[in-house]
Amino acid sequence: MTSSHIDFIRPEKLNDARIFSWFSLKNSHLKEKNQQIPGLNVGFNSNERQDILLHNLSLLSSELRMKPSNLALAEQVHKTNIKVITKGGIYPETDAFVSKTPGTALGIQVADCGAILFGDATNKVVGAAHAGWRGAVDGIVLKTIGKMLELGAELNHIKVFVSPCIAKHNFEVGDEVAEKFADHLVDREHYTKPHVDLKGLVKEQLLESGIDENHIEIDERCTIDHEELFYSYRREKEKSGRMVGIIKLNKLK
């Protein structure tokens, strides 16, 4: 979706009367005076001034027609800590959220990792998870679904969006990482070092959990390949900003 200010991806399966979701693009045309990283960078762990990040967050919130205070952001640590939340704010040591609170938006910041958004519109439960290789192999996807079920979600109603993230052809790793993936998700033949399939792992876990394949939407684009659209830490290092995946329950009368 293109707006007059900001370009987003709008997941097809997670936008209806009850649930809205977005994935912000790089938007490199946006630049404030003294901004170090062009675009709509909302990464508080990036190499950018705090006032610029707050400005970008305000711009994003305005475009989404919500208060910045209603957005929950995680200080992600590549673990599997999941918080059940009822309000916005900054949550330390967190890699996933689940919520039943209308109006509270869940935000996951990424720059090669996957932002996984979950929604059960029938039972009014949403979730969002940060899935890098560490979190994925440690079960962040399955654990987030489990927390949603505890809040009353049902597997046959959960729909999922997997954001653009690093693809197998660009995901070179050492043997110590490759051995954590199933053999069929590792390519040892076409490259000097092993390459692993993060999106493949996430999809397998979603299916393993019982999510209907027709309820899974995966953006197959690689963050490294599309410099004009996405930030990438592997490509840009300390000059990389962060995109954000956001999902929220709407307040309905």
The answer to the question of residue 67 being in a domain is: yes
Lowest-pLDDT range, 58-62, 115-119, 194-198? 58-62
4: confidence class by pLDDT, cuts 50, 70, 90: very low
In a domain, 212, yes or no: yes
CA 247, CA 12: separation in Å to the nearest integer?
13
Domain range for 180: 20-248
CA dihedral of 226, 227, 228, 229, whole degrees rounded to 10: 60
Q: CA 7, CA 148: separation in Å to the nearest integer? A: 29
Contact partners, residue 131, CB within 8 Å, separation at least 6:
113, 114, 115, 116, 140, 141, 165, 198, 202
Residues 6+ apart with CB under 8 A from 15: 21
pLDDT for position 253:
59
Helix (H, G, I), strand (E, B) or coil at 239: helix
Average pLDDT of the residues of the chain: 95
112 dihedral zone (left: phi>0; alpha: psi -120 to 50; beta): left
Q: How far is CA 147 from CA 41, 59, 242, in A?
A: 29, 31, 26
For residue 42, what is the domain's CATH number? Answer: 3.60.140.10
Q: Of 191, 204, 40, nearest to 111 (Cα)?
A: 40
The single-letter DSSP state of residue 63 is: H
- In this predicted model, what pLDDT tens digit does every residue of 74-89 receive, in sequence order? 999 999 999 999 999 9
Per-residue pLDDT averaged across 215-241, rounded? 97
Q: Is residue 13 part of a domain?
A: no
Question: Which run of H or E residues covers position 204?
Answer: helix 198-209
Q: List Cα–Cα distances, 188 to 133, 137, 198, 203, in angstroms.
A: 17, 19, 15, 21
pLDDT at 3: 41
Q: Binning pLDDT at 50, 70 and 90, where does residue 112 land?
A: very high
Is 37 a domain residue? Answer: yes
Task: Single out the residue of 87, 124, 89 nearest to residue 103, CA to CA.
Answer: 87
pLDDT recorded at residue 2: 38
Dihedral angle over CA of 141, 40, 125, 81, nearest 10: 40
**Of residues 122, 118, 193, the one with CA closest to residue 162:** 118
Q: Is the pLDDT assigned to residue 25 strictly greater than 70?
A: yes
- pLDDT band, residue 32 (cuts 50/70/90): confident
227 occurs within a structural domain: yes
- 4 lies in a domain? no
**Considering the domain boundaries, does residue 162 fall inside one?**
yes
Q: Give yes or no for a contact between 141 and 209, defined as CB atoms under 8 angstroms apart.
A: yes
Average the pLDDT over 20-24 and give the result. Answer: 98
User: Based on the number of CB atoms within 10 Å of its own CB, is 176 exposed (0-12), middle (13-18) or buried (19 or more)?
Assistant: exposed
For residue 5, pLDDT beyond 90: no
Name the domain count of the chain: 1
Locus of tokens 């999510």: 211
Q: What is the mean pLDDT of residues 94-123?
A: 97
- Rounded to whole angstroms, the maximal C-alpha distance in the chain is 58
Give residue 1's pLDDT band: very low, low, confident or very high (50, 70, 90): very low
14 — pLDDT class (breaks 50, 70, 90): very high
